[in-house]
A and B are shown apart, each in its own frame.
Chain A
Amino acid sequence: MNLRRDVFQAIADPTRRAILLLVASQSMTAGAIAGNFDTARPTVSKHLQILIECELLKQEQNGREIYYHLNPQKMKEIADYIEPFRKMWDDRFNKLEEIMKKYKGKK
């Protein structure tokens, strides 16, 4: 539960969400990621650290460089978290819509 909440705190920050979007398409070095932001390099490093700690990002050594890439499994976990709640309401509302369309037809 605690770890999970950390994940949600991690994605609550707009810069961290932007980082996740950036590395979603390709692995990138910290320098390349930082190049996309106006913020200072240490700030970006701190964001990367948080994303690593909650396992949203993974590091990979390639020669002398460290590349960052997305951990799809963890991302899926986030998507799944709210989905059953959303689905429950979606099912209810679909039913409501269906019932009221029939009701309308009856009148």
Chain B
Amino acid sequence: MELKTKINAESGRQDLVITREFDLPVELLFKAYVEPEIVEQWMGTKVLKLENKRHGSWQFETKNPGGNVVFRANGVIHEFSPERRIIRTFEMEGAPFGVQLEFLDFEKLSDERSKLNIHVVYQSVAQRDQLLQLPFAQGLNMAHNRLQEIVGKLK
């Protein structure tokens, strides 16, 4: 089975690469990264700030149904080249994972298809490995809770 999203995380390195091909024109793929209300939908978080420009900054926040903040992250944008490239930092607030540097490359494959390549650089090998394990413990739980919440509303 061909996996749509691929992760290349070689051992002993402090970086990793996420690649994914989309059945979307590159303009729409890029839009999903810059329009706050669209980012909110697929990232499942609230966008407090998203300044899509060089030296701009961003901040996301997720609250649980009780109104408590369970996730907050922020960073600055170093490069913003429409439909081509975003370079930004990412820092999870109140977590011991440091700041990571992200290079997002958007590539047009055809009029209807595009590719996203995300190169993430961490402060250390140990931090990368910890973050790789995080979804196992936390992220998946959150996604699961969110799913239950949505399903709960449907009932």
A interface residues, Cβ below 8 angstroms from B:
5, 8-9, 11-12, 81-82, 84-97, 99-101, 103-104
CA distance A67 to B76 in the complex (A): 55
Q: Using Cβ atoms and an 8 Å threshold, which residues of chain A touch B18?
A: 89
Q: List 17 A-B contacts (CB under 8 A).
A: A8-B11, A8-B12, A12-B10, A84-B139, A84-B140, A86-B5, A86-B6, A86-B7, A90-B20, A93-B20, A94-B4, A95-B41, A96-B42, A100-B31, A103-B31, A103-B38, A104-B25
Q: Which one of B7, B11, B28 contacts A9 once the chains associate, using CB atoms below 8 Å?
A: B11
A90 to B139, CA, bound (A): 13
B residues adjacent to A (C-beta < 8 A): 3-7, 9-12, 18, 20, 22-25, 28-29, 31-32, 38, 41-44, 116, 129, 132-136, 139-140, 143
Evaluate contact between B11 and A89: CB separation under 8 angstroms.
no
Rank and list the top 8 A-B pairs by shortest CB-CB distance, nearest first: A8-B11, A90-B5, A96-B42, A84-B136, A95-B42, A88-B135, A12-B11, A84-B135
Contact partner, A82, options B4, B28, B132, Cβ 8 Å:
B132
Residue from the list A8, A86, A91, A101 in contact with B24, Cβ < 8 A: A101
Q: Check if B140 sits within 8 Å of A104, measured CB to CB.
A: no
Q: What residue in chain B is nearest A1 (Cβ atoms)?
A: B129
